Amino acid sequence: MSAHHGSGQHGGGQLPSTFDADKVMGNVYDSAVVRRLIKYLGPVRSDLGLGAAGMVMRSVSTVALPLLVGIAFERILSAVQTGDLSGLNTIVLIVLGVIVLGWGGRYLEELFLGYVGQKILYRVRTQMFDHLQRLSLRFFDQNKVGRIMSRVQNDVQQIQELLASGMLNVVFSALTLVAIAVVMLVMNTHLALLTLTVVPALAAVTFIWQRYARQAFIKVRRAIATVNAQLQEGIAGVRVTQSLTREEINSEQFDNVNREHYSANVRAARLQAVMWPMVEILTALGTALVIYFGGRQVLAGEMTAGILVAFMLYVRRFFEPVLELAMEYVEIQRAMASGARIIELLDVEPEIADAPQAIELQAPAKEIKFRGVSFGYTPGLEVLQDIALTVDPGETVAIVGRTGAGKSSLANLITRFYEVNSGEVTVDGYNVNSVTQQSLRRQIGVVTQDPFLFSGSIEDNIRYGRLEASREEVIEAAKKSHAHDFIVRLQRGYDTQVGERGENLSAGQRQLVCLARAILANPPILVLDEATSNVDTNAERLMQKSLRRLMKGRTCLIIAHRLSTVTHADRIVVLEQGRIVETGTHRELLARKGLYHQMFGALSAPDLSL
Amino acid sequence: MTILLRLLTFVRRYWWLLLLAFICMMASTAFVLIIPLLISRSIDTVLGDGQTRDLIWLAIAVVAAGALRGLSAFGNSYLSEVVSQRTAYDIRNALYDKLQRLSFAFHDQAQTGELMSRGTSDVEAIRMFFGRGLLGLLQIGILFIAISIILVRLNWPLALLTMGFLAAVGWRAVVVARLLRPIWLHIQQLMAKLGTILEENLTGVRTVRSFAHEQEESRKFSHQAEVLYDKHMLATRKRAFNISLMVFLVTIPIALILWYGGREVIAGNLTLGELTQFVFYLTMMSMPVRRLGFITNIVTRTISGGQRILEILDTESAVKEKPGAIELDGVNAAVSFENVTFSYDSTAPVLKNVTFSVQQGELVALVGSLGSGKSTIAHLIPRFYDVSGGRITIDGIDVRDVTLDSLRRNVGIVQQDTFLFSATIRDNIAYGAVDADMEQVVAAAKAAQLHDFVASLSAGYETWVGERGVTLSGGQKQRLAIARTLLINPRILIMDDSTSSVDAGTEHLIRRALGELIKGRTTFIITHRLPIIRNADLILVLEEGEVVERGTHNDLMARDGLYRQIYESQLSVADISGEEGPEANDNQVM
């Protein structure tokens, strides 16, 4: 266990798979996990205390009731002789009191332990989210979204149950068992010893059963995961399936995993059902022991019938805490594994953090400079080598090159999404490492190829650029990006919901919204990854127009794909295998007859000159 | 109710198992009822002038009853679980088969997540109903009636008091369950919302970071987490109040029994043993009564879940095979569109009067802006949708007159979004031709220019891709899709390339392979890649569902129309005629 949260803590640590079935269960006690998790209990200790008090009250009530019923029976028996009802009345009142005690206890327990659970859930969740906000992009490159989400959602749920009620349940189930045993021993040692022999048998059977049940349970979980994955693929890949006419084979395959799931469940059901005869027989055995030996004692006048009844009632209460213990045993193991995964995520150090003396970059920043920059995503594989480049204030520089030449990497370094291997990137003479990430990124607007919208209204999405912007400013920005026209034509205008559920915008419209967002942010530096995906011709024209407007007066670095863009740039930088191989204006570069000419020369036939 | 009845048809096949489970349930109920009677007898025995011998028999009877009760409960629990799992298995299969066969029109409307929830939680609800709900409800009813009869015969006022109380608590449990259900549903929605925030934060991490909005995101998340927290706290309060009240109400009759029953014993109307019966039967009923709420919820969920599942099962596929459809074979692959009109639903037509014909072996490029109808043309040929008007023929035969299987085996399509299955690269390539041998797979990969990349992987063709495997770049995925389509060796090849214009390396590779790919096939390509278009025998320029220009590159450039306009503003120039770009960087971020 320690192996998987002891290693891989550095920077972009890759989280191990959560799908591994072995990892579904951890050890029952993992001190490293417990020590960390226990800290979450500190702030909720008063709730925890009240909940525990409730548990105590409930346990007392549970243990006391059979005894009181027994006593009541004795009172009734004596009243048959004396005709005096006061003894019975008193005991009935006490019974009522104990029932009310149980009620109050149950209420406190449910309420405060529920509170504890929710408070822990909230804290761990937000803590994990906040932590994710600090992690570097490399982390997100290496870990799939689904896997991270599963930690923030499922694993947190799992430990919440453990911390809120699981651990206390274990303690109180054990205590209840002990208390019942003590009461029985006090009432009648001989009979108690005879009857209690059932408990170890019950415990042994339950724990052995639990081990098999656990395996069956893991198999069921694995089987359902397979079925769901297959179903998901069946739905998501249905277009491929139909075009390659594979429906029948798929149905056969699905039937196979479905059948496996069925058998796994039937095996588990058999195991679950097997508990019935075992528990019933053992409980009946306990009752039979009480009837025979206890009955003989009553007949011999060594014990009252009331105690006999109390014993019979107690026998029926053995099983519940035993089962509870066995169940929690499984839950705790799962929670330990979840706890380890949570800690693992929380322990991933952000690879890029603000320097201790980081200063605020003053607005408006103007000039970008690369000095001898080398960079790679994986060690030993440099994507950029020895880059020297200055983008002057107000200048537009276009970067061209093939896929993999390092264009996007260059852009990623300006915003300090990644750290250089050597050399330095400066903005207005400040090394990007020496300023706060926040102040740096506020100065730089990034417009990427795939426009990302959050679910929410269009207005919210534009306002994302500057949160304090008024509605008028939002509209103003939309007008500048030429998004306004299509927005007002939508039925709900700026209130139209987009994102996840409202995919009612075309790719081009999304681009325009993202541009409005960038315009609203009004950054002095613009990094633009020119979209090549085909938006409709109309949107394309609008985008070009608004882009040109956006670029005016700003320092711009554009990853360019189109002829029209490069011809508008002040300077063009040609990247090849991570190095700058040519620099100059469109005409200069064409005249050079180098790589640039190979790329764009064909398009600059005289009839096309712009 | 009709939904429950229709769902019952799924169980009909297992009626004998269900009957067996029912018999076991009855037996187990009977045996469980015997035990308090035996206990009562033994109390009265020891209080009267009983003999030790009687006690032995009673003890043995208790063990026997316990054992029989255990065995029949085993039968009941196991058999009903088998029935319910069997039913769930059947429903899942039916659902999967249906989803596989529903046409694109259905899948365009449906969301994967939503369909998944039908296949998972709705099926689960139905399973629970047949597993525990149906027989559970019956058992509670039978138990309640039987105990009432036994107790009424002992002492009717006390019986009425006890059972009346329990009935009231049962009613309350149902009410509470109804009360809490909307809160839980709301909580589920809030959780989904929180999940969306998290997911968007993770997938949109670059946007968040570039606007330096981390703190804002944290605030948004914690605000939503707080809303969820408040709702949870409310639910906790309600739950705590109601659960404790329920347990209280279920235990209260003990005091009543002791108080009133005690007096009856003293008055000689009841024996102490009989009083014990009241206590034991009460404890026996307290759990089932409390579970009533849970069970009614299962019923509610089953009805709504069942409705959603039946909805899918009842949906007719929009594209259906004609009875007596013929096999399409010996294809020459001449394709023609005759006055084809098409609209997705009743909205404005996406294609209007499209007419063209393509000879065997020709290369056709479809050009036009987004939404002009290019992809629709591609989707109509393999009959993913049916035309609204006009007809499409292959070698003169209407595509609606041939079997879907034979049609689609002859028409290979490489779609825009390449979907990879969680499987090895080999299995992904052989997806449409499972019996292809390794040589054929490699040959297809070579033809699609994928082989070199695969060979560079340490596990080669056995490399696992998809959800949990190696991430491939867009270009690699696309080439895999091409290999996959080539393997079925279609006579007509359609490549929908319109959105994947990022990867210049692929561009080059595809162009290199193109000559081989299209050899002897009729090929349709939707693309903005210039070099490919230049080689086309026919370019169809589409705008708003109509073919506005047609001809070769040179014809169209000469015309100075829409084609030329698109050419100038949109066509991708990233390709270079030199050697291919560094492959290793294709997937630099893996």
Nearest CA in chain A to B256: A92
What is the per-residue DSSP string for B481-514?
HHHHHHHT--SEEEEE-SS----HHHHHHHHHHH
Interface test with A, best of B206, B320, B508, B583 (most A CBs within 10 A): B206
Residue B585 has pLDDT above 60, yes or no: no
pLDDT of residue B470: 72
pLDDT of residue B142: 93
Instruction: Check residues A560 and B514 and name the one with the higher pLDDT.
Output: A560
A and B: number of Cβ contacts within 8 A: 471
Write out chain A residues lying below 8 Å of B35, CB-based: 284, 287
Q: How far apart are CA A259 and CA B304, in angstroms?
A: 26
Of the given ranges (A8-22, A49-63, A107-121), which has the lowest mean pLDDT?
A8-22
Do the Cβ atoms of A402 and B69 come within 8 Å? no
Of the given ranges (A154-168, A574-588, B420-434), which has the lowest mean pLDDT?
A154-168
Residue B194 has pLDDT above 60, yes or no: yes
Mean pLDDT value of segment A556-568 = 78
Residue B130 has pLDDT above 80, yes or no: yes
Mean pLDDT value of segment B63-69 = 94
B334: tokens are 């001449």
Do the Cβ atoms of B52 and A88 come within 8 Å? no
Residue B306 has pLDDT above 80, yes or no: yes
Do the Cβ atoms of A258 and B92 come within 8 Å? yes
Distance from A108 to chain B by nearest Cα, in Å?
8
| Amino acid letter, residue A199 | V
Do the Cβ atoms of B225 and A126 come within 8 Å? yes
What percent of chain B is predicted at pLDDT more than 90?
39
pLDDT of residue B23: 95
B58 touches chain A (CB under 8 A): yes
DSSP tag of A502:
B
What residues have CB less than 8 Å from B270, skipping those under 6 apart?
B154, B155, B158, B261, B264
Do the Cβ atoms of A417 and B101 come within 8 Å? no
Distance from B37 to chain A by nearest Cα, in Å?
13
Out of A96-105, A204-213, A242-251, A350-359, give the one with best mean pLDDT: A96-105
Do the Cβ atoms of B211 and A134 come within 8 Å? no
B89 touches chain A (CB under 8 A): yes
Do the Cβ atoms of A244 and B484 come within 8 Å? yes
Instruction: Check residues A304 and B497 and name the one with the higher pLDDT.
Output: A304
Residue A47 has pLDDT above 90, yes or no: yes
Q: How far apart are CA B81 and CA A74, in angstroms?
A: 45
* pLDDT band at residue A180 using 50, 70 and 90 as cut-offs: very high
pLDDT of residue A276: 85
Nearest CA in chain B to A406: B585
Domain A1-187+327-353 has CATH 1.20.1260.10: no
Do the Cβ atoms of B502 and A532 come within 8 Å? yes
Helical (H) or strand (E) element with B202 = helix B156-203
| Amino acid letter, residue A18 | T
Radius of gyration of chain A (CA): 36
Structural domains in chain B, sorted by start? 2-314 (1.20.1560.10), 335-576 (3.40.50.300)
pLDDT of residue B581: 34
CB B495 within 8 A of CB B527: yes
Of the given ranges (A447-451, B357-361, B420-424), which has the lowest mean pLDDT?
A447-451
Task: Quote the mean pLDDT of chain A.
Answer: 84
Do the Cβ atoms of B279 and A292 come within 8 Å? no
Residue B209 has pLDDT above 90, yes or no: no
In degrees, to the nearest 5, what angle opens at C-alpha B224 toward C-alphas B467 and B243? Answer: 100
How many C-beta atoms surround the C-beta of residue A610 within 10 A? 11
| Distances, alpha carbon A282 to alpha carbons A293, A311, A324, A485, B141, in Å | 16, 15, 17, 78, 27
pLDDT of residue B478: 80
pLDDT of residue B501: 46
Residue B524, helix vs strand vs coil:
strand
Instruction: Check residues A154 and A102 and name the one with the higher pLDDT.
Output: A102
B469: Cα separation from own chain's centroid = 22
Q: How far apart are CA B173 and CA B294, in angstroms?
A: 8
Write out chain A residues lying below 8 Å of B373, CB-based: none
* pLDDT band at residue A499 using 50, 70 and 90 as cut-offs: low
What's the pLDDT tens digit per position in B478-529? 888 889 988 988 899 998 875 444 445 556 666 666 677 777 889 998 876 6
Distance from A57 to chain B by nearest Cα, in Å?
12
Radius of gyration of chain B (CA): 35
Do the Cβ atoms of A415 and B504 come within 8 Å? no
What's the pLDDT tens digit per position in A267-286? 988 988 888 898 899 999 99
CB A477 within 8 A of CB A458: no
Residue B10 has pLDDT above 70, yes or no: yes
The sign one gets for the Cα dihedral B16, B22, B26, B32 is positive
B109 touches chain A (CB under 8 A): no
pLDDT of residue B151: 93
A343: Cα separation from own chain's centroid = 13
Do the Cβ atoms of B73 and A276 come within 8 Å? yes
Mean pLDDT value of segment A112-123 = 92
Do the Cβ atoms of B229 and A417 come within 8 Å? no
CB B246 within 8 A of CB B268: no
Interface test with A, best of B256, B374, B421 (most A CBs within 10 A): B421
Q: Delimit the domains of chain A by residue range.
A: 1-187+327-353, 189-302
Interface test with A, best of B25, B213, B258, B320 (most A CBs within 10 A): B258
Write out chain A residues lying below 8 Å of B574, CB-based: 402-403, 532, 561, 599
Write out chain A residues lying below 8 Å of B429, CB-based: none
The beta-strand segments (E) located in B149-216 are: none
Distance from A59 to chain B by nearest Cα, in Å?
14
pLDDT of residue B509: 64
pLDDT of residue B278: 92
What's the pLDDT tens digit per position in A227-251? 988 898 888 888 888 888 888 889 9
Do the Cβ atoms of B569 and A467 come within 8 Å? no
* pLDDT band at residue B224 using 50, 70 and 90 as cut-offs: very high
Please name the member of B77, B419, B585 whose beta carbon is closest to the beta carbon of A272: B77
Task: Quote the mean pLDDT of chain B.
Answer: 85
How many C-beta atoms surround the C-beta of residue B438 within 10 A? 10
Q: Is the complex ipTM more than 0.90?
A: no
* pLDDT band at residue A11 using 50, 70 and 90 as cut-offs: very low
What's the pLDDT tens digit per position in B34-54? 999 999 999 888 888 778 888
Do the Cβ atoms of B405 and A278 come within 8 Å? no
Please name the member of B70, B419, B498 whose beta carbon is closest to the beta carbon of A276: B70
Residue A4 has pLDDT above 60, yes or no: no
Do the Cβ atoms of A149 and B198 come within 8 Å? yes
pLDDT of residue B579: 33
Mean pLDDT value of segment B192-196 = 87
Interface test with B, best of A238, A308, A319 (most B CBs within 10 A): A238
pLDDT of residue B429: 93
Mean pLDDT value of segment B313-333 = 86
CB B118 within 8 A of CB A272: no
Closest CA to A243 of B434, B408, B488, B430: B408
A96: tokens are 């009522």
What's the pLDDT tens digit per position in B141-174? 999 999 999 999 999 999 999 999 899 888 988 8
Write out chain B residues lying below 8 Å of A500, CB-based: 196, 200
Write out chain B residues lying below 8 Å of A288, CB-based: 59-60, 62-63, 66
pLDDT of residue A19: 38
Residue A580 has pLDDT above 70, yes or no: yes
